[in-house]
Amino acid sequence: AQSVTQLDSQVPVFEEAPVELRCNYSSSVSVYLFWYVQYPNQGLQLLLKYLSGSTLVKGINGFEAEFNKSQTSFHLRKPSVHISDTAEYFCAVSRRQGAQKLVFGQGTRLTINP
């Protein structure tokens, strides 16, 4: 079985400051890793994904994430945030084989203050 832990339920930052949203996972098999963003009363939009290869992956809206196999982490970062980044962010994993059943973390609410 897989599990995902997002270490911060809420992260407040000032506009133009850097931000890191932390994600740790547990799995007995190899997994794919994803970050999704959810704006209020909307569905989820894919930010980025890690499949294999380079451990630093770049996504949309200036976000990037680094896969660390030894620490089983997949932290999301942005060097300078904007008001429009205010949203909830979800880390998720799925097994590489078989049905793509996503396992989500609890979510991190990112609030950008002017």
Partner 1 sequence: DGGITQSPKYLFRKEGQNVTLSCEQNLNHDAMYWYRQDPGQGLRLIYYSQIVNDFQKGDIAEGYSVSREKKESFPLTVTSAQKNPTAFYLCASSMGVAYSNQPQHFGDGTRLSIL
- The residues binding partner 1 (CB under 8 A) are 4, 9, 32, 34, 36, 41-46, 49, 51, 90, 94-102, 104-107
Nearest residue (CB) to partner 1, 40 versus 114 = 40
Amino acid at 108: T
Contact indicator for 43, 37 with CB cutoff of 8 Å: no
Nearest residue (CB) to partner 1, 98 versus 114 = 98
**How wide is the angle at C-alpha 110 spanned by C-alphas 26 and 75, nearest 5°?**
35
To partner 1, the closest distance from the beta carbon of 26 in angstroms equals: 15
Q: CA–CA separation, 62 vs 76, rounded Å?
A: 11
To partner 1, the closest distance from the beta carbon of 80 in angstroms equals: 26
To partner 1, the closest distance from the beta carbon of 110 in angstroms equals: 15
Nearest residue (CB) to partner 1, 1 versus 114 = 1
- Per DSSP, 53 falls in state S
